[in-house]
Amino acid sequence: MKIGFNKIRAAFCICALALSFLCVAPSAFAEDSDNPITGFFSFLPAPPHINLPHLDLTPFWTDDLKTARRAYSNHDYDRARDYFQKSSDDGNIVANWYLGHMYRLGRGVPVNQAVAYSYFSRVADNFNPDENDANRLRIMIDAQLRVADYQRTGIAAAKLKANPQAAARTYMQMATNYAHPHALYSLGVMTIVGEGMRKNPQQGLKWLNAAARKHSPEAAAYLGDLYSKGGVVARDDTRALTWYIIAAQAANADENPLILDNMNVMKAGATEEVRLEAEARARVWNEQNPDDPKN
């Protein structure tokens, strides 16, 4: 009888371990060629469960939405906005998501973070954890991230007060459950400076390194800044330039122009010895941390 109990207990432990692995293992989705922001995020986070109506009432790709997407891809943003707006008026979350990014980036419209927040919030409010369409789920999750970003800083024009604690809770859930690079980066910075949580520089460095391994250009650049300035870590010009080279290689010129500019300035001011050593270290790091084509 004792042997049987031990076998049962062992089996239970194995099952528990398997379940815990499923909870923390990242779930990667193939890059969608229709996504206007390539390489936008690597893994799906797990935002808080929200009980909301099912979304099957609104078709995923309507004719207006397809027309808008083609116009967007061709940089005909005026036409894209008109058709996205028509779909948005019908409650289409995909249209709202595109419009959010158009106002966030100023594509065909003036940059307006308050309006962008409004559109992202509409998508985030319709989050459905049981959504079985991977593309629609990606859009809803990205909107959750964007809302958390705005919560962190606040938007005066939208009368949204900064609430870094709320943002940190969302980032923490995304980071711990799915190793989302943006969440890892945000937690790294917030933990280092003590924003919305207890200050813990060493833990912050761990978050940042984890984000950098997911090819977050922001995380690599922030590490470069830390090594350039010293304080949290010992000042090291070679490491600083190494991280900036890594960041620049992962950066998007439209999204991260400052990273590319800083890397060029840092390279120009470095000695040849430091530059060659940093370039060699960056090559080795990239070989050891290959970019997943699914990201």
63-102 confidence digits (pLDDT tens): 888 999 999 999 999 999 999 999 999 899 999 999 999 9
Q: How confident is residue 36, by pLDDT bands cut at 50, 70 and 90?
A: very low
Residue 66 lies in a domain: yes
Q: What is the pLDDT of residues 155-200, one digit of tens each?
A: 998 999 999 999 999 888 878 877 889 999 999 999 999 999 999 9
- Domain span at residue 112 reads 37-162
- % of the chain residues with pLDDT over 70: 78
pLDDT of 27 reads 31
155 SS3 class: strand
Domain assignment present for residue 235? The answer is: no
Q: Are 144 and 122 in contact (CB under 8 A)?
A: no
β-pair partners for 43: 28
* 239 within domain boundaries: no
Neighbours of 257 (CB within 10 A): 11
Determine the Cα–Cα distance for residues 221 and 246; give it in Å rounded to an integer.
8
Q: Is residue 150 part of a domain?
A: yes
Decide if 12 is inside a domain: no
CB 259 within 8 A of CB 250: no
pLDDT tens figures, 274-292: 999 999 999 999 999 998 6
pTM of the model: 0.72
7 inside domain: no
Is 69 domain-assigned? yes
Q: Give bridge partners of residue 155 from the DSSP assignment.
A: 160
**Is 98 inside any structural domain?**
yes
Count structural domains, the chain. Answer: 1
- Would you state the pLDDT for residue 88? 94
